Amino acid sequence: MPRAKLLEALNQMVSDPRPTKRSLTLNGHRTSVSLEPEFWEALKKLAASQDLSVNAYAAQIDAERAQTDPTVSLASVLRVRILRAVQKGQL
């Protein structure tokens, strides 16, 4: 994806920069994650595209994060996953 198109897509996604904190249940454990509303919406779409709930999709990503680098925040990993989906044209 050309850089200009990617920046345009990101600008459209992030119109409200204020994060919203939501609770997730990951493998039976409650945690809270702060993401901007557009990222929450994108996360819902990605989860639905895999026939998963947001909790189940986030749990998968969290399990991968735990094995690769548990020091990185879940919110950061979710944002990067969403960015990669945009870059691949999945969103």
CA 2 to mean position of chain CA atoms: 22
Query: Would you write out the chain's pLDDT as a tens digit for each of its 91 residues?
Result: 577 777 776 666 656 678 999 999 998 999 999 999 989 999 999 999 999 999 999 999 999 999 999 899 999 999 999 999 999 998 8
pLDDT at 12: 65
Whether the CB-CB separation of 51 and 44 falls below 8 Å is answered with no
Instruction: Judge whether 62 and 53 are in contact, CB under 8 Å.
Output: no
pTM, full prediction: 0.78
CA Rg value for the chain: 13
Question: What is the per-residue pLDDT for 28?
Answer: 92
